[in-house]
Amino acid sequence: MTGSNRSETLVRDPDADIFQCTLPIDRGVLISGAAPGSENDIHTNAAFSEKWAKLEQEPEDEENWKTFQFSWYLSCYGYDTEADLSAFLVTRRVVLDAGCGPGYKAAWFARMNPNATVVAMDLSDSIYIAAERYGSLPNMRFVKGDIANTPFLTGAFDFISCDQVLHHTDDPPATIREFARILSDQGQLNTYVYAKKSLPRELLDEHLREYAKQLSREQIWELADQLTQLGKTLSELNISLDLPNVPALGIKGGRQDLQRFIYWNFIKCFWNPEHGFEASKLINFDWYAPSNAYRYSLQEFTKLMSEAGFISEFLHSEEACHTGRFHK
């Protein structure tokens, strides 16, 4: 058949206005760039691939985890109810969940607005869990790669959610600059960073994180297990203390539970009975296993964002984190 008499139907690529180029695909996942490059990226990939695979093995803990995460997301980003988030999402056309882990928040967004295309992206193998679980949602895409160096067109997204991820990237300012590039002028970015804690906790964390770099994965799991046991035991003592402020060390006084006092001021020994043991352990693992875990004061967070040209329309701070909704 020659070109002149061939009957052709031109089908428009529905994602042509999202991706800069065509990407290789593996098990439903588009592969962006080379495998993780820097030592930190390799470490992050290994730590989170393991974390998400472990959570998958504990279905009950995972369900509790998701319920907690959804309601925490609403409170961190200033949505009174899920209906408020949904009302916002239906105004969006192309959404990115940057650092999606196993993809449950991306799927949440995709279900709230079936007319939007929702791209879930992560550096770790958790993206394969996401694709396997949510690949049947017709409006979802899955990309494995670095959110600081994406394959997306300039201005491709009108909503980017980067929840609990930025501080794990190699170079958070570079990641934010990439978001500024791929977000449209009318777009919104929701993002989160770890907050700085009291001085003794910061100093101990620095040392422990360096120490953890020399440990095997098994030893880090063992550390996480023992920290969880410590948190559980302290919490079950059910002791409250009246304590003075120690402003020189950034320690807040007042009436406090013993476990929470030690947790916020000295060592991460997370325990929440609603999460269960394995999910609590993951949170302790999550803290010491990835090599990047930058922490910020509120002022440092707003500076980081404004230097990339972002303006906040909502800010929220709690002991664990600073979060905000931003536009350009």
| Residues making contact with ligand SAM (CB under 6 A) | 44, 48, 69, 99-101, 105, 122-124, 126, 146-148, 163-165, 168-169, 286
For the CB of residue 81, give the shortest distance to ligand SAM in the complex, in Å: 19
**What are the respective helix, strand and coil percentages of the chain, to the nearest 5?**
45, 20, 35
* Beta-bridge partners for 31: 144
- By beta-carbon proximity to ligand SAM, the closer residue of 144 and 232 is 144
**Residue among 130 and 234 whose Cβ is closer to ligand SAM:** 130
CB of 165 to ligand SAM, least distance (A): 4
* Residue nearer to ligand SAM on the CB measure, 50 or 158: 50
**What's the closest the beta carbon of residue 40 comes to ligand SAM, in angstroms?**
9
With respect to ligand SAM, which residue has the nearer C-beta, 94 or 162? 162
Residues 298/322, Cβ–Cβ less than 8 Å? yes
CA distance 315 to 312: 7
* Shortest Å, Cβ 201 to ligand SAM: 19
Longest Cα–Cα distance of the chain, Å, equals: 87
Q: Given the complex with ligand SAM, which of 147 and 269 has the nearer CB atom?
A: 147
Q: Angle at the Cα of 141 (from 59 to 176), degrees rounded to 5?
A: 95
Q: How far is the CB of 51 from ligand SAM (least distance, A)?
A: 7
CA-to-CA separations, 272 to 253, 259, 275, in angstroms, rounded = 22, 11, 5
Of residues 124 and 235, the one with the C-beta less far from ligand SAM: 124
Distance from C-alpha of 196 to C-alpha of 206, rounded to nearest angstrom = 12
- Residue with Cβ nearer ligand SAM (51 or 92): 51
If the CB atoms of residues 164 and 235 are measured against ligand SAM, the closer one turns out to be 164
Burial of 254 per CB tally in 10 Å (0-12, 13-18, 19+): exposed
Minimum separation from the CB atom of position 31 to ligand SAM (A) = 13
Q: How far is the CB of 194 from ligand SAM (least distance, A)?
A: 10
Residue 289 backbone dihedrals phi, psi, to 5 degrees: -80, -50
Residues 6+ apart with CB under 8 A from 135: 28, 142
Q: How far is the CB of 164 from ligand SAM (least distance, A)?
A: 4
Q: Which two tokens stand for residue 218?
A: 């098994």
166-169 CB contacts, 8 Å cutoff, 24+ apart = 166/99, 166/191, 166/192, 166/193, 167/193, 167/194, 167/292, 167/293, 167/294, 167/295, 167/296, 168/44, 168/99, 168/290, 168/292, 168/293, 169/99, 169/292
Residue 261: partners with Cβ closer than 8 Å, 6 or more residues away: 241, 243
